[in-house]
Amino acid sequence: MMRILLVCLGNICRSPTAEAALHEALEEAGLSGRVEVDSAGTGDWHIGKPPDRRMTAAAAAAGLRLFGRARRIDRDDFQAADIILVMDRENLRDVRALAPSPEAREKVRLFREFDPDADGLEVPDPYLGGPEGFRQVVVIARAAARGLARHLQQQEQLA
């Protein structure tokens, strides 16, 4: 089973949304039983808290259900995950700095790399903004998740 970890700053907005969007995309692609998905944050401010209520509302309005409790990425995640997808370049730098080896560092990529129509490679952090930023994260997460699911389907066909 492939394991994917999605990472943002606090694990209450972007990464839980990306996790829910990826579950949805994997289900649509017929891959849900073959890929395990989890999320984490680089910071410890929100450990144990549920996803941000504003993000939860924006996701629910679009038909996504957020779940889980915030946790912080740790060294064990590098061994458990096959790929670690981060939301922005700051997360990329921070997560790669935690990697216990060059091989582990190679697992870390930007989530939006899988969105062929992306106008940038970062998922913007909506935390300090208004409702539109939360809605935008849902749209971006779904696009990247669908692209990732297509990528995984293609890899599976080649295997």
Q: Which of 13, 77, 125, 146 is catalytic?
A: 125
Any catalytic annotation for residue 13? no
Distance (Å, whole) CA 139 – CA 145? 10
Dist CA 40 CA 47 (whole Å): 9
Which of 14, 54, 112, 146 is catalytic? The answer is: 14
Active site residue 44: no
Helix H or strand E encompassing 40: strand 35-41
Residue 66: burial class (beta carbons within 10 Å; 0-12, 13-18, 19+): buried
C-alpha–C-alpha distance, residues 138 and 55, integer Å: 8
Is 125 catalytic? The answer is: yes
| 8 A C-beta contact, residue 108 and residue 92 | yes
Active site residues: 8, 14, 125
